[in-house]
Amino acid sequence: MKMARKLAAEAKIPAPNLYIVGTRKDAPTRSRPGGTPDGTICFTESMLTLEDDEIEAVMAHEMAHIKNRDTLVQMMAATIAGAVAYIAQIAYWSMFSEFESRTSTSIVGLIMIMIFRL
């Protein structure tokens, strides 16, 4: 905990919550910034077998994720991508309901669907 407080002070962020989880040997560490300024870092039990300077390096790396709010950015990107896919799906299925009124707008819509469905 002392190491975490020191690294957090250097990064100018609140000290994150630290947890140790018992999982598979090869499971990675995980940071979870969430929507708050303080984050959470989970270490696997196998991380405790590392030297202190190695643990400090991993902890500093995870704190960089917290400081940069990487999880929040990933969540927003996934939400936007999901919304675009959902809109493309709606447009795709709406094309089938307008068989009798094929116009140039329908063709443009079909091209847009082909682009977004990739």
Q: CB of 28 within 8 A of CB of 44?
A: yes
Whether residue 108 has pLDDT greater than 70: no
Q: Are residues 47 and 89 in the same domain?
A: no
Q: Are residues 35 and 58 in the same domain?
A: yes
As annotated, the active-site residues are 62
Q: Are residues 53 and 104 in the same domain?
A: no
Range of the domain at 112: 73-116
SS3 at position 31 = strand
Q: Are residues 79 and 36 in the same domain?
A: no
Mean pLDDT of the chain: 77
Q: Are residues 30 and 49 in the same domain?
A: yes
State both tokens at 1. 């905990």
Q: Are residues 64 and 30 in the same domain?
A: yes
Is the pTM above the cut of 0.75?
no
- pLDDT tens digits along 25-82: 666 665 555 545 567 888 888 787 888 999 899 889 888 888 888 888 888 999 999 9
Quick count: other Cβ atoms within 10 Å of Cβ 103?
Answer: 9
Q: Are residues 64 and 87 in the same domain?
A: no
Q: Are residues 105 and 87 in the same domain?
A: yes
